[in-house]
Structure 1
Amino acid sequence: MADRKKTVCIVGAGPSGLAAAKNILWDKRACQSAFGGFRVTIVEAQPRIGGLWPSSPDDTSGLVHPLMLANQSRHTVQLSGLAWEDDAPVFPWAWQIGAYLERYYQRYLRGLQETGDLVLQLGRRVLKAEPIDGGKSGWHVWTQEAGFDVVDAGKFDYIVVASGFFGSPSVPEGLVKQGGAGGVPTLHSSAYRDLDTLFGGHVPSSGKIVVAGGQFSGVEIAATIAGHLSNKEHAPGGKSSTLSVHHIVQQPFWVFPLHTSPAVAAASPPFLPFDLTSYNVLKRPQPLTDTQGHIPVETARTVHGIFSTLLGTDQSDVHPALALPMDSPARDLPPYIAVSDTYLEHVRSGTITVSRGKLEAVEGKIATVTASTGSSSVDDVAAVVLATGFTPAPSISFFPDTVKEALHFDASDIRQPLALAFHDTHHPAVAGLAFVGFYRSPYWGVMEMQARVATALFTEDAAFQSWASSTPQWPQLALALVEDRSIERTLALRANPDRASQFPMGDYLYLMNSFGEALGIPRRSGAVKKGAVSMDIVTPMHYFDGDGDNGDENTAGEPTVDAKDNAHAIAFTRQTAIAGLKDNRFVSRAIFRSLQGTWKLERTLTSRLPSHPSGRFVGTAEFRLREGTKDGLSGSETADAEYLYVEDGTFTALNGPSFRATRRYIWRYNERLGKLSVWFARTDDASKADYVFHALEFAPTERGWKATADHMCIDDFYNVHYQFSLKGVNLTTWTLEYAVRGPKKDYTISGAYQR
């Protein structure tokens, strides 16, 4: 006769909590055990599932803006057994991630609520969790709904902390008080939505928006605000403004675009979503070892060199505060990275000004910044946005001090505030407790692996009460736990923080491989080869264990719906890689991204008809970033990204006069089609698109990427040729030539563009 099912309380219904619930409830070894499996209660503070991830484009109540673009692609931001919809963007919006999690819940968990194996409590938070006999006899939990009395939720055999590393915004109280007292709007980066909400509907025409904080969130929010300023000025009907962003950072960092190249040395480098390029197991020496944690000087300098080569710059050409040249002492320190398509060019153009130091105070409209070289000030401050990160302490506030002490809790350690065993999954001194996703940058595949470890720990404990006195069902994991030294490494890093990596658990390939070996889940092939480029890409789908439907096949020997979805996702990743390596799929996106900003332009016009003078143009060409517009488009056409192109300079006719010349176009990128196109501007409003001039068709050459286009404009035929030269992933020079033939036209234009 089977014993009662064991009970589990999961704190949080974000991706970590949902992955934990799915794996605990669907694991076949747990379901087939003598105790009959688990019953799970999920307690979530939000009134919806998803945690940080909003549920719709209008859901602005959480810590993540619904229109924030993910900095990992859909290939990484997914859980095994559930594929994205085919038409989902490569880099989804935050609300689309929330919608994906809703589908995950509907597939794996909704039906279990009806059977009673799952209880979902939304709009309620865990206030207290007391271990019984150190957790060996379970946990006593109390919860509360906002505005109501505390409720005794009862006793659970096990508890999973899936409440997230981003417990609450970290806001220096003194800064907020001083900024507010001076009448300057001050908020945390997680609360920023747009310029109107920042300024209460009254956006000033001048001043500096100070952004403090130089890691991922600092770069993202600085670029976002700069994009809003650019759009406000350059969108149709836009107004001129001298508002700008002043970004205060404490150290230089590398800024990677969303698409990078697995072969930057090639004359015509292919492009892929940067996580596919990064998560190529073939580029790493075997067997895999952990490259994160403590970073020696020689390793730091090697990685800095790799980053410089990949990007094609040491960033000294962008701004001195971001420069990381070969002789920089900063190259002795562990490298830091951020991800943004637009940040560097906003800096180069001056929309974002960067300074080194730490924001100390805001008095009136003056911000004080301290650095090793002394203090400085930023005047004319219009607003302050604090990208000062998050504190994880609220995510474990329900534990008593005795539990926190056992977990080596240190609120001052912003990287790993707890010292946990086997890749931050548990602590041997606290029984019946597991952690899923409680670390910085929780890649979804890793959190899913942590959920599987939690399932194994609880299953083995429920069956035998002690791993040491049993024959475990996960023998590789039992051995891995014996050999694990994660706690000792974390404590050692606290003693030497200057040599700690940006993300102590940042080696995705190593972590996935380590978890896979310990759990007995073999990695499925992600092999792709094109020419000299060989890849074996790792995503969560490549470690599918078939537990969603108790295996890859049903009783009839047919693939389960989960296995089909998983295979489809693996195939989609492979197709994406092939499209990038073979079919130039992301070249247009990479070129479009790299055009942003100002270029020096020299153009020669050679006419064969006396009615059109030959001559030379010297000036600038600006690609001004703005939100996509609908002008000139029809039906379902979209402009996912857009520039207003403005050139201005002097044209000197051959043996003739000189005069000021200007022209405007609209450049557009459509992600679904992977198409970059150029549009004529309207004659009555040069900020709006009229009709398409041409679309670029890319092809590789020994000199770089070329693009061609033909266009018939009434009676005139335009034959267009582009040549793009890149260094690393960045465009350095390019040329544009086109010949025009018609009843009254016969001329050739040849232009050269240089940063």
Structure 2
Amino acid sequence: MSVKNGRVAVVGLGASGLVALKNLREAGFDAVGFDSNAYIGGLWMYTPDPTKTSVLKSTVANLSKHLGCYTDFPYPDNVPDFPLAHQAEEYLEAYADHFDLRRHARLQTRIERVGRRDGQWVLKATDAGSKTTSELTFDRVIIAAGLQVQSPKLPDIKGIETFTGHAIHSNAYKNPEDYKGKNVVVVGLGNTGPDIAVDLIGYAKNVWLSHRRGNAIFSRRNASGKPGDFVLSLRGVKLGGIFNKHFPSLSQWAVVLGMNHMTKKKFNIPAEWGLREAHPPTRKVPTLSDTLVSAVHQSQVHLKRGLTAVNGSTLTFADGSQLSDIDNIVFATGFRSDFSYLDPAADPTRDTRKDWSGLPGANSRPLPRLYQGIFSLDFPDSLAFIGTSPLTPQANMNYDISSAAVAQIWASKSTLPSRAEMEQHVDAQHESVCRIAATGELANTNLRNNWDWYKWCDEAAGLGVVKRTSWSVEGWKFWLADRQLSNLVNGGIFTPHIFRLFDEGKRTPWEDARKAVEKTNADAKVERTP
């Protein structure tokens, strides 16, 4: 592979950093990846180290392997529909080996600071082995560090300082055996809280799961036993995006109605649990758990309302009830992004809206000014962030197509709008987010119209998918020329492989993309056990 486009540092070699490294090198950049860990894969590599963020040993991927892969690298056939944690890590390892990424990776190297000097980026790097620090210069930088540059977020609970037991953030939870015979309260009804609560069954004496407002509980599989994400299609995403853009309130109402229907069809959730009603996805991400409901029915996990106060070993909840003799509290309450490693001139949060921090939905989170959630407005030609993709479930696909867009733009095969246009775009996105945050909970600071974002990535990366969608001139031409493939692309499984089918003179298509698209759709027809 010839190198012609300059040196790029990729900070972080988890799922987002690996594909960014690959796409940059594919586009002709001399890209080097850095990670503070001794391994690639980021949080998908389980570690007992309480200072490092990782999956649990029992973690199962929320997205099926058919939609959760990269655009040009399917999961092996022998991996189940929903990979276990170690299988997801093995997939990332295999990806790095297949595309020869390891020799471009510098592990056990922590990037302490990213600054600007004489028109170049200067990275302050510390070697974990020798403890020596050096300065490295690059033309461009991609930040793909994810949770490695986020700090645990803890709620402000009255009297928490008096707690006589042991309270931790879920980031430090590693092994259920550490809680044998203990009375444990897990706080948070996202995805991590229920996973930890169920993980403690058989070890802790009693397990309670505390939640403020309930949430929709989804299963990974539908009533017929097939992955629930098989319902996603390119045509459906397009229609949903258009509908949400022009009729946002009606769209949210329809989504909540559908979510409640799916939950009730799969689970028996009594009203007294306070879990039945879904929240709009702009407010809260649904909880995905195949085991929580049955665990509550069997009294293996007990539900409590929001934790409001602590006094010694006694906990008080929003409904006035109390629990005594509590040994442990695990706060599964999320993370907040930390941009303090960046030079102040490059910090995307320094000029954010003045009213943001006071909004009810801000929840102490920063609101970065990034074009498409990716590009620095101050240094768009040399600083980008991967991993802040919009609220869609297909993280690996999003990392892939967004980093491909960055590579094509920096290689001058695609262009960015003017600074003024990018500022206007960010202002509009922030206005939309702040309207939601002003009236309550906000699921994600990077909320945006998913279809518009896919369209932008598709055009910038040169993928050629969007223009071939249904009800367009190119779409009709595609259908007339190849009806089978057109039907699979538009109405079949929303597999990432569709983004590597076409040659638009920018990103090289993958020669096995069609075969992979056909195989994914054929696999989807295979019957599963409910």
Q: What TM-score does the superposition give when structure 2 sets the normalisation length?
A: 0.80
Distance 1:416 1:507 in 2: 21
SS in 2 for 1:24: helix
The structure-2 alpha-carbon separation of the partners of 1:92 and 1:506, relative to structure 1 and needing over 3 Å to count, comes to farther
Residue 315 of structure 2 corresponds to residue 367 of structure 1: yes
Larger radius of gyration: 1
Larger strand share, 1 or 2 = 1
Candidates 464, 468, 480, aligned match of 1:522 = 464
The structure-2 alpha-carbon separation of the partners of 1:20 and 1:273, relative to structure 1 and needing over 3 Å to count, comes to same
Candidates 511, 516, 522, aligned match of 1:569 = 516
- 2:15 corresponding residue in structure 1: 15
Contact 2:488–2:518 under 8 Å retained in 1: no
- Counterpart of 1:170, as a letter, is P
SS in 2 for 1:474: coil
SS in 2 for 1:563: coil
Contact 1:365–1:381 under 8 Å retained in 2: yes
The structure-2 alpha-carbon separation of the partners of 1:251 and 1:95, relative to structure 1 and needing over 3 Å to count, comes to same
- Counterpart of 1:428, as a letter, is L
Moved more, 412-421 or 336-345: 412-421
Q: What do the CA deviations read for 1:676-726 (whole angstroms, capped 9, x no partner)?
A: xxxxxxxxxxxxxxxxxxxxxxxxxxxxxxxxxxxxxxxxxxxxxxxxxxx
**Mapping of residues 478-493 of structure 1, within 5 Å:** 478=417, 482=421, 485-493=425-433
Residue 172 of structure 2 corresponds to residue 191 of structure 1: yes
**Mapping of residues 57-456 of structure 1, within 5 Å:** 62-110=53-101, 113=103, 118=104, 120-132=105-117, 137-146=119-128, 148-149=130-131, 151-165=133-147, 167-168=149-150, 170=152, 172=154, 178=160, 182=164, 184-197=165-178, 199=179, 203-204=180-181, 208-225=183-200, 228-229=201-202, 243-260=205-222, 270-277=224-231, 279-283=232-236, 286=239, 288-289=241-242, 291=244, 298-312=250-264, 317-324=269-276, 334=283, 336-361=285-310, 363-369=311-317, 371=318, 375-393=320-338, 396-404=339-347, 408=351, 413=362, 417-431=366-380, 432-438=382-388, 443-456=395-408
Residue 496 of structure 2 corresponds to residue 540 of structure 1: yes
Distance 2:233 2:434 in 1: 31
SS in 1 for 2:376: coil
- Counterpart of 2:399, as a letter, is M
CA RMSD after TM alignment:
4.0
Contact 1:74–1:84 under 8 Å retained in 2: yes
SS in 2 for 1:172: coil
Displacement, 1:443? 1.0
Candidates 414, 419, 424, aligned match of 1:474 = 414
Distance 1:403 1:414 in 2: 23
Contact 2:37–2:108 under 8 Å retained in 1: yes
Distance 1:358 1:482 in 2: 45
SS in 2 for 1:25: helix
The structure-2 alpha-carbon separation of the partners of 1:193 and 1:546, relative to structure 1 and needing over 3 Å to count, comes to farther
- Counterpart of 1:392, as a letter, is S
Q: What do the CA deviations read for 1:625-660 (whole angstroms, capped 9, x no partner)?
A: xxxxxxxxxxxxxxxxxxxxxxxxxxxxxxxxxxxx
Distance 1:143 1:58 in 2: 22
Displacement, 1:415? 9.6
SS in 2 for 1:493: helix
- 1:494 corresponding residue in structure 2: 434
Distance 2:282 2:124 in 1: 45
What percent of counterpart residues are identical?
Answer: 20
Q: What TM-score does the superposition give when structure 1 sets the normalisation length?
A: 0.58
SS in 1 for 2:347: helix
The structure-2 alpha-carbon separation of the partners of 1:544 and 1:416, relative to structure 1 and needing over 3 Å to count, comes to farther
Distance 1:314 1:550 in 2: 42
SS in 1 for 2:397: helix
Contact 2:386–2:402 under 8 Å retained in 1: yes
Distance 1:442 1:176 in 2: 38
Q: What do the CA deviations read for 1:238-275 (whole angstroms, capped 9, x no partner)?
A: xxx9x3321111112100001126xxxxxxxx442122
SS in 2 for 1:83: coil
Contact 2:186–2:210 under 8 Å retained in 1: yes
Q: Unaligned regions of 5+ residues in structure 1, if any? A: 32-37, 233-240, 262-269, 461-472, 553-561, 580-584, 591-755
Distance 2:343 2:328 in 1: 39
Contact 1:124–1:145 under 8 Å retained in 2: yes
The structure-2 alpha-carbon separation of the partners of 1:169 and 1:354, relative to structure 1 and needing over 3 Å to count, comes to farther
Displacement, 1:154? 2.6
Distance 2:100 2:281 in 1: 48
Q: Unaligned regions of 5+ residues in structure 2, if any? A: 469-484
- Counterpart of 1:6, as a letter, is G
- Counterpart of 1:258, as a letter, is R
Distance 2:155 2:443 in 1: 25
The structure-2 alpha-carbon separation of the partners of 1:149 and 1:528, relative to structure 1 and needing over 3 Å to count, comes to closer
Contact 2:185–2:330 under 8 Å retained in 1: yes
Displacement, 1:159? 0.6
The structure-2 alpha-carbon separation of the partners of 1:130 and 1:291, relative to structure 1 and needing over 3 Å to count, comes to same
SS in 1 for 2:328: strand
**Mapping of residues 664-679 of structure 1, within 5 Å:** none
- Counterpart of 1:502, as a letter, is A
The structure-2 alpha-carbon separation of the partners of 1:368 and 1:195, relative to structure 1 and needing over 3 Å to count, comes to same
Displacement, 1:24? 0.8
Distance 2:370 2:155 in 1: 34
Moved more, 400-409 or 9-18: 400-409
The structure-2 alpha-carbon separation of the partners of 1:506 and 1:365, relative to structure 1 and needing over 3 Å to count, comes to farther
Q: What do the CA deviations read for 1:269-316 (whole angstroms, capped 9, x no partner)?
A: x44212222x22344564843849x99654443322111222336988
Displacement, 1:492? 4.6
Distance 2:141 2:281 in 1: 42
Displacement, 1:16? 0.9
Larger helix share, 1 or 2 = 2
- Counterpart of 2:133, as a letter, is V
Distance 2:352 2:130 in 1: 30
Q: What do the CA deviations read for 1:711-745 (whole angstroms, capped 9, x no partner)?
A: xxxxxxxxxxxxxxxxxxxxxxxxxxxxxxxxxxx
Contact 2:70–2:397 under 8 Å retained in 1: yes
The structure-2 alpha-carbon separation of the partners of 1:76 and 1:442, relative to structure 1 and needing over 3 Å to count, comes to closer
Contact 1:521–1:543 under 8 Å retained in 2: yes
The structure-2 alpha-carbon separation of the partners of 1:570 and 1:179, relative to structure 1 and needing over 3 Å to count, comes to farther
Displacement, 1:358? 3.4
The structure-2 alpha-carbon separation of the partners of 1:194 and 1:54, relative to structure 1 and needing over 3 Å to count, comes to same
- Counterpart of 1:354, as a letter, is L
**Higher relative contact order at CA 8 Å, sep ≥6: structure 1 or structure 2?**
2
SS in 1 for 2:518: helix
Displacement, 1:144? 0.8
Distance 1:526 1:407 in 2: 46
Distance 1:130 1:568 in 2: 45
